[in-house]
Amino acid sequence: MYSRRAGARAFRAAEVAILPLATEKEPTMTITSTTKRQPTDFATAVERLSKVSVDRHFDAYIDVAWDDPEMAIDPEDPRFELWLDDPLRHTKWYATQPPETRSRVAVHRVATAMRIGWEFENVLQRGLLEHAYWMDGKKPELRYLMHEIAEECQHMLMFQEFANRTGMDIRGMPRHMKLASRLVVVLARTFPAAFFMFVLAGEDPVDYIQRKQLKEGGSHPATERIMRIHVTEEARHIAFARHYLRREVPRLHRLRRRQLAVMAPLIFGTMARLMAFPSLHTARTFGVLRSDLRRALRSAPGRLLLREVAAGPRKLCVELGLAGFPYSLLWRVMGIWETSEPATTTPEVDPENDTA
Ligand SMILES: [Fe+2]
Ligand SMILES: [Fe+2]
């Protein structure tokens, strides 16, 4: 069960700098097979996540000092700069731009990522509501899912407020992806394991990118505050999705597992690109040639970024027996397979000790 000491530890962690990626661990339990203890362990972990959600949650308009002059979002503020691993930053085009244009590109880039985050979380909430609708009210995961949906509402408020304050024309996902997202909501009812793969596919890459940027430092204070709040709460969401998959995948019929093994690299490959790469709209807005953008995305740093943001989900799929041959070929085709360990792996999160 969740202890009072653990709750106090989580509160104390609030003012501590974010943990290095390598030291972060997922909480306590390991569920890799169907055993008698499994349901109890899953329930305990979920109850603990619910308790931490009560102890540590944020409000978009209380916990972000939007009107503090330090937090003002001016598109030409030199504090805005593309983060080190952004493929656009490695283009000759970016290097030749004056500082004010570089700042505008960075603001547009981060606001677009936030708008995409808003749309992803909208789909996620609809799927979670669909998944929870038929659930027995006594199940601990029903309460946890309600906490998660409420937290995503606050994230969406933060993301949209940031995008609006840029005063720029910000667009999110391409139209075809918005239309395809309706299928994801259907999956939440008909194939929940695939739906939670989608959840991880959106949350894990963003979490990886935000943690790495926080570790590097130097972000604009508004971006930094939003990222700190987000990684703190996403730690719980990612932990829940991983626990759910560790419990459910071994229980699936073998044909269902094969379906999932085919779907996983397609979902993770598509979502990794959506979350980690600059959008076509950002490139068009600033006159970046399509060929320059393509070259940047296919460059060694671009391909490495893609593999790194998908490293956590890939590791989980290997553990669940979903990424063996011939399915590993699909991971290679999607550009998210790595034969050796990447330099930095996606963090295994600890929802109690993460900081904001
Ligand atoms: Fe979120
Ligand atoms: Fe989330």
Residue 40: pLDDT band with limits 50, 70, 90: low
> Which residues crowd ion ligand 2, with CB under 5 Å?
203, 234, 237
Q: What is the mean pLDDT of residues 46-74?
A: 97
Query: Which ligand is located closest to the Cα atom of residue 153?
Result: 1
Stated pTM of the model = 0.86
Place of tokens 């070259």: 295
Q: Which of 275, 58, 66 is nearest to 161 (CA)?
A: 66
Q: Is residue 119 part of a domain?
A: yes
- How far, in Å, is the centroid of ligand 2 from the Cα of 121? 7
Averaged pLDDT score across all residues of the chain: 88
Residue 214, in any domain of the structure: yes
Neighbours of 135 (CB within 10 A): 11
Higher pLDDT, 276 or 355: 276
Ligand nearest to the CA of 235: 2
Residue 51, in any domain of the structure: yes
Unique residue bearing structure tokens 């979350």: 275
Name the nearest CA neighbour of 223 among 323, 32, 75, 37. 75
* Residue 338 confidence class, pLDDT cut points 50, 70, 90: confident
Give, as one character, the DSSP assignment of residue 308.
H
Selected residue with higher pLDDT from 205 and 23: 205
Q: Span 204-209, mean pLDDT?
A: 97
What are the tokens at 264?
């996983």
Residues 116-141: tens digit of each pLDDT = 999 999 999 999 999 999 999 999 99
Ligand 2 centroid to residue 325 C-alpha, Å: 31
The ligand placed nearest to the CA atom of residue 156 is 1
Domain that holds residue 281: 34-333
278: CB partners within 8 A, 6+ apart: 86, 87, 88, 109, 112, 293
**CA 114 from centroid of its chain's CA atoms:** 11
Give the pair of three-digit tokens for residue 75.
């598109």
What's the domain count of the chain? Answer: 1
Q: 354: pLDDT confidence band, cut at 50, 70 and 90?
A: low
Share of the chain above pLDDT 70, in %: 84
20 pLDDT above the threshold of 60: no
From the CA of 92, how far away is ligand 1's center (Å)? Answer: 33
Question: What is the DSSP code (8-state) at residue 8?
Answer: H
Say how many Å lie between the CA of residue 242 and the centre of ligand 2: 12
Q: How far apart are CA 267 and CA 260, in angstroms?
A: 10
What are the phi and psi torsion angles at 162 (to 5°)?
-60, -50
pLDDT in tens, 235-256: 999 999 999 999 999 999 999 9
Is 343 part of any domain? Answer: no
Q: pLDDT of 242-301, one tens digit each? A: 999 999 999 999 999 999 999 999 999 999 999 999 999 999 999 999 899 999 999 999
Q: Evaluate whether residue 22 is within a structural domain.
A: no
Would you say 216 and 84 are in contact if contact means Cβ atoms under 8 Å apart? yes
Spatial CB neighbours of 217, under 8 Å, sequence gap ≥ 6: none
Cis before 75 (ω within 30): no
Cα–ligand 2 centroid distance for 188 (angstroms): 15
Check whether 17 has a pLDDT greater than 60. Answer: no
Dist. CA 152 → ligand 1 center (Å):
5
The dihedral through the CA atoms of 127, 133, 139, 140 has a sign that is positive
Which ligand has the minimum distance to the alpha carbon of residue 241? 2
Q: Indicate if the pLDDT at residue 32 is higher than 90.
A: no
Quick one: pLDDT at residue 339? Answer: 58
Q: Show the 3-state SS of 313-330.
A: HHHHHHHCCCCCCCHHHH
Ligand 2 centroid to 198 CA: how many Å?
Answer: 11
Whether the per-residue pLDDT at 31 is higher than 50: the answer is no
Ligand 1 centroid–CA 95 distance in Å is: 32
Question: How many CB atoms are closer than 10 A to CB 71?
Answer: 17
Give the ligand with the smallest distance to the CA of 227. Answer: 1
Ligand 2 centroid to Cα of residue 220, in Å, is 22
Which residues, chain by chain, have CB under 5 Å from ion ligand 1?
Answer: 155
pLDDT at 51 over 50: yes
Backbone angles phi, psi at 300, to 5 degrees: -60, -45
Confidence of residue 29 (pLDDT cuts 50, 70, 90): very low
Tokens of 175: 């139209």
CA distance 154 to 293: 33
Ligand 2 centroid from CA 237, angstroms: 5
Provide the CATH number for the domain around residue 256. Answer: 1.10.620.20
| Whole-number pLDDT of residue 33 | 40
Burial class of residue 147 in the structure, from the number of CB atoms within 10 Å of its CB (0-12 exposed, 13-18 middle, 19+ buried): buried
